[in-house]
Copies of this chain bind each other. A is one copy, B any other.
Amino acid sequence: MSVTDDYLKNNETYVANFPGELPLPPARKTAVVACMDARVNPYGALGLKEGDSHVIRNAGGIVADDTIRSLAISQHLLGTEEIILIHHTDCGMVTFTDEQFAEILEKETGQRPSWTANAFPDAEQDVRDSIKRITDSPFIKNKGSVRGFVIDVATGKLNEVS
């Protein structure tokens, strides 16, 4: 049995206890942008429940065009007002450079990607840069609460980046 099949067994338990229908716009009017890292669980870390918040995630929790696209849809069409960025300790993105990853892919596949890995050397600094990318964007309309954190994957604690 694949892991996917195992997850589908878990889905049966979820359905049996499902709370029921909820509105499309997030009840708590928040959007979370977090790294895809397996140890980062925004539901646990923030106490999110179904219906509360948009959750956007990618390798690094970076703010690139696709993140701005998601946040613009979140704010302009679905009424969210606060943005929460979550990077984390022990992040893989600080262990390689964009050039090194392009070389790995070229060696393994014979092709270089048209996109870059968007690696960063320091999680805290990338949180600051990401906040600036959001506050600089004309397509983000609610900029009153854009806060960034590095979660400690050893303790689960969110530490705010100032």
Cβ of A92 and Cβ of B104 under 8 Å apart?
A: no
Count this chain's copies in the assembly: 2
A interface residues, how many (CB within 8 angstroms)? 89
With A24-B90, A90-B24, A158-B11 as contacts: A4 and B30 at CB distance below 8 Å: yes
Cβ of B154 and Cβ of A21 under 8 Å apart?
A: yes
Interface string of A1-45 (1 = CB under 8 A from B): 011101111110111001011101111111100001111010111
Cβ of B53 and Cβ of A141 under 8 Å apart?
A: no
Is A87 located at the chain interface by the 8 A CB criterion?
no
Instruction: List chain A positions with a Cβ less than 8 A from chain B.
Output: 2-4, 6-11, 13-15, 18, 20-22, 24-31, 36-39, 41, 43-59, 64-70, 72-74, 76-78, 82, 84, 90, 92-93, 96, 101, 104-105, 108-111, 113-118, 138-139, 141, 145, 147, 153-158
